[in-house]
Structure formats: C-alpha cells, structure tokens
Amino acid sequence: MSVTRDRLACAAAPTTAAPRLGGIDHIEFWVGNARASAAFFASCYGFEIVAYAGPETGMADRVSYVLTQGDVRFVVTAGIVPSSPIVAHVAAHGDGVHDVAFLVENAAAAYRAATARGATGVAAPAVESDASGRIVRATVATYGETHHTFVERDDYLGLFAPGYEAPPVTQPVGPPVGLSRIDHVVANVELGNLGHWVEFYARVFGFDQMVHFDDDTISTEYSALMSTVVWDGSKVVLPINEPAAGRRKSQIEEYLDWYGGPGVQHIALRTEDIVSTVRALRDRGVRFLRVPPEYYDDAKVRMAGIDLPWEALADLGILADRDHEGHLLQVFTETMGDRPTLFFEIIQREGARGFGAGNFKALFEAIEREQERRGNL
C-alpha cells in the first residue's frame, strides 16, 4: 500500500479550473421495477420515500421514486415502455447505478469545465422550473454507461426536482436504522484500465489520489485486485478497482461479466452506531456476508487496546480495522439484485480514514465462497 496526497500529473495541464463539487447530491439507480425497489429500500434499509414522478406527473415513459435517510438520497427509476433506454439498460446490466450526481453551485460552469478538461458531454445544461423554483442539470459520462450529473438547486424549494410530487405513501416502514451519509462509491473497471480512470478523475475533476492498494495487499489464494482511491479532498470519495491475475476468476471479473462492463460495485453508507444499525437492518431482512469465527481471533490481536463489543460484532459479522488515525467497523451486504453485481457496505468511522485493508483477505474469501456457490469462481 502506498499513500500519496500529491496532485496527479496530467499529460497536458487543463487551463480551465476543475468543477467545484459540493458533495454527492444523489445516486440514481436504473431498475426493472421502481415501485418494488422503492419498497425494498424503505422496508429493508429504512429509507423514507419523499417524492414520486411518473405518468401522473407528466413523465410519460418512466417512474421514479426519491428516497432519503440522513444525508443519503437515492432515486430509483424504471422505464415503463419497451423503447425506453432504461429498459435497455436494465436488460444489459440488471438493476444498477446509472448516475452518481454531484451537487454544484453552477451546473453550466461545472459542465463547461468538465468538458473543457476532457469529459464527454451527455446532456448540456438545462433549466427546469415549477412553482417551487428552478434547478439546472447537466450530465457527463464516466466509466461504462455510468453518468455524473451536475445538479444546481440553490433556487429550488421543492421535494426533489420539477416533475416530482409527494408520493402516495410516506409512512416510514419500521424503526429507523441510522444511516447518515454516503461514505464512498466504488467502481469496477476492466483489467488494464485503472490508470486511465484515475487519470480521468484527476484531469476532469481535479481529484487527488488518496491511497493505492496493489495486488499484493488485495489477494487471496484464488484471486486478486488492485484499487486506487480518488477524492475531491472533501466529501466525494471514489475508489476504483481493476482485476489482477489470480489462480481463478477475480470477484471483479465476475462483476464485469454479469454487469456487462464497468459500473458501480458498492456504495458505502455511514452510521454512527454500526451495531444498532446492522441489528436493525438484519431484523428488516437485509442479508450480510458472513466471516468465519476465526476472523475474530486475529481481529482481537490487530485491534488490541481498543475497547470493542466483540460479542455483538461476531454475532453480526462486523469487521474491524485500524490505521494510524483511528479505527473503523464495517460490514458488507449480499448483492442488492439478482445478478452478482451491486452491493452495500455499512461503515462506522472512529477517526480512521482507510477502507479496511486489514479485512480485505477475510472479506474476499467470504465473497469467493459466494462466487463458488454461484459456480463463477
């Protein structure tokens, strides 16, 4: 593992300043059935459904639900006509992340800056307005068929965006689970492309490299991967993985095969109390990856000197790691949909800014046991 905070060198230094991001505005999933996905996030993950768009609100070809919890905002969207690009996307990829949208002060300026610095434009800046004000959105392409939309909403007081109304049902289902914010969003890209995408985020968005994990750090008996974390220096943290040569199929290759190319592998959601959050999620039906009991023998040695509720952690399959700044607790869900692609991480940070490198081996062995059961290892 090597740590660097240097700004990445660019082949030709862009003359336009990078877009200034105010964090992740929302993550939009394109799914087969928005009503079912919204109910899944509400029932299993404790989200509140706050807005709806569909034929009743003037959206002829799609349905969207907006869900929030703490500072996390998800949008689930499904196409409802065969010619919909969303239907084609779901046929190709299964349910997955279509857009990691960034909050900005000026969407037109962010779009101009990103495209001047080499991003491919997908949608030029467009103003939308209704009685609650106006928003401006513009979109650029990133890995695979994934997008980054710039959202400017300073002048908007509505539920989410023009075209959205209060949902038919707003009652939260069950007790809160305590998710507070998006911690990081991880991409899987093809073998040999990690460097390209790290350079892309440096060039287009001015991101720095936070940390790099090589395939010696992240390897098991069977498979390996490499990972570089890029970030905006503040709230937007985007690790990028590529497969590395191993004895058998890497979990990243399995993802790429089943997603049909690069895309979002997992979304890490922050909690301030992981034991109560994971207990609540488990009670609501969320299934987590299990680690063998022996994991905790080793973890107790690594975490010596830190007072942790080991019995609860072992009961819930929560992993622990430390770095020079503190410690973290984390756990990973099974995949969200039917294909072995997107999953979630629940993470509690107590000072640590790492990603659980001390857990990689135990974690990946747990993932490989699931791969084996699917016949994909």
Residues interacting with Fe ion, by CB under 5 A? 268, 345
Q: Which is nearer to Fe ion, 211 or 268 (CB)?
A: 268
If the CB atoms of residues 283 and 350 are measured against Fe ion, the closer one turns out to be: 350
CB of 221 to Fe ion, least distance (A): 22
d(CA 269, CA 71): 10
The sheet carrying 263-271 orders its strands as: 2-3, 208-213, 224-231, 237-244, 179-188, 263-271, 343-350, 326-332, 319-323
Query: Cβ of residue 345: shortest distance to Fe ion, in angstroms?
Result: 4
Pick between residue 34 and residue 268 the one whose CB is nearest to Fe ion: 268
Q: How far is CA 81 from CA 56, 87, 146, 167, 208, in A?
A: 15, 8, 21, 21, 42
Rounded CA separation 104/149 (Å): 10
Judged by CB, which is closer to Fe ion: 102, or 344?
A: 344
Minimum distance from residue 330 beta carbon to Fe ion (Å): 7
Q: How far, in Å, CA of 226 to CA of 349, rounded?
A: 23
Minimum CB separation from Fe ion for residue 120, in Å? 27
Q: Which residues pair with 231 in a beta bridge?
A: 208, 237
- For Fe ion, the closer of residues 49 and 185 by Cβ is 185
Q: Cβ closer to Fe ion: 51 or 320?
A: 320
Q: How far is the CB of 84 from Fe ion (least distance, A)?
A: 31
SS3 15: coil
Q: Return d(Cα 328, Cα 347) in angstroms, integer.
A: 7
State the minimum distance, in angstroms, from the CB of residue 267 to Fe ion.
Answer: 8
Distance of CA 337 to the CA centre of its chain: 14
